[in-house]
Structure 1
Amino acid sequence: MELTPRIRQRILRDFGEGEREAVEGMLTDLQQSLDRHVDKERITAATLLHAAGNMDALLLAVQDARDDWRDVLMGSGLEHDGWERRLDAEFGPAARRGLPGWRKFFG
């Protein structure tokens, strides 16, 4: 799975162009290590929220997510019901692919 556009945008905002490639690589590797039945964007977003633009904090959050992805959800605001609204508030709305005319409204 690729990183979603809103995750990529947040990486650029929080880390800047100089660290973008390294951060994207770490988060892509994290997503590949996760079980296919979990919401990978949710876990990736929680990891970024914990990092708050700090590379050392990102390394710790990635390790927490690898050890037990539920740990990284705690304290991120994405751990309870309604996490989708928080994700949209922090990262912007997700593109609604698959709906007729989605590009017209979300593209």
Structure 2
Amino acid sequence: MELPSRIKRRIIKDHPQGDQQTIEELLLELMDYLKKTGIDTERVIAATLLHADGKTDRLLNCIEEVRVDFRDILMDSGLEHADWPDRLDAEFGT
């Protein structure tokens, strides 16, 4: 399993080099969890990164928030509406 390339690019853009590998590993674990629940993984992973806003400690809190109720992170990041694919493309590229 691998993170989508645009998610990887965003990690590199937003987070210090020393944290990037750990962040990728944490998001892969989250992706595995989300796949088991049938939730759209890229949307939720992207929402987690957006809401974390480049802050690693905030990212850890966001991951916990997703495990409690993923809908909260969608609302916190602005990816809760039907236009989320367009917003994702605008924020992360294609």
TM-score, scaled relative to structure 2: 0.93
Distance 2:52 2:31 in 1: 16
- 1:36 deviates by 4.7
- 1:75 deviates by 2.2
Distance 2:62 2:24 in 1: 14
1:56 aligns with 2:78: no
Bigger relative CO (Cα 8 Å, ≥ 6 apart)? 2
Q: Which protein is bigger by CA-based radius of gyration?
A: 1
Distance 1:16 1:46 in 2: 19
Distance 1:4 1:50 in 2: 18
Letter of the aligned partner of 1:22 in structure 2? T
- 1:71 deviates by 1.2
Q: Which has the higher helix share?
A: 2
TM-score, scaled relative to structure 1: 0.82
Could you list the structure 1 runs, at least 4 aligned residues long, displaced by more than 3 angstroms after superposition.
none
In structure 1, the residue corresponding to 2:65 is in which secondary structure? helix
Aligned length in residues: 93
What's the counterpart of residue 78 of structure 1?
Answer: 79
Identity %: 49
